[in-house]
Amino acid sequence: MDGGIHFEEGQQDKDQKRQKRLESLGVTVIRFSNLDIKNNLKWVLEEIRKEIEKLPTPNPSKEGNIFQQKL
């Protein structure tokens, strides 16, 4: 939620470049309007939850697990 500046001339190109850079680093960008956040927060939070659930679950480290180590 950054405000109305994102509708100013040229700003959408800058936003798109920034988003591509963030995505190249593995960051997921989700955009919501100020109006949605102020008036429909429950929906916004649900959309964020859905995106989080799409993320892969990391495998736990096997380091230090004595059952996996050869003695």
Alpha helices in 1-71 (DSSP H): 11-24, 34-39, 41-54
CA dihedral 4, 32, 13, 55 (to 10 degrees): 160
Q: What is the pLDDT of residues 20-54, one digit of tens each?
A: 999 999 899 998 888 899 999 999 999 999 999 99
Percent of the chain beyond pLDDT 70?
Answer: 70
Q: Would you state the pLDDT for residue 1? A: 64
State the pLDDT confidence band at 12, using cuts at 50, 70 and 90: confident
What are the extents of the domains in the chain?
4-52
| Two structure tokens written together for 30 | 């989700």
Other CB atoms within 10 A of residue 11 CB: 13
Structure pTM? 0.63
Residue 69 has pLDDT above 70, yes or no: no
R_g over Cα of the chain: 19
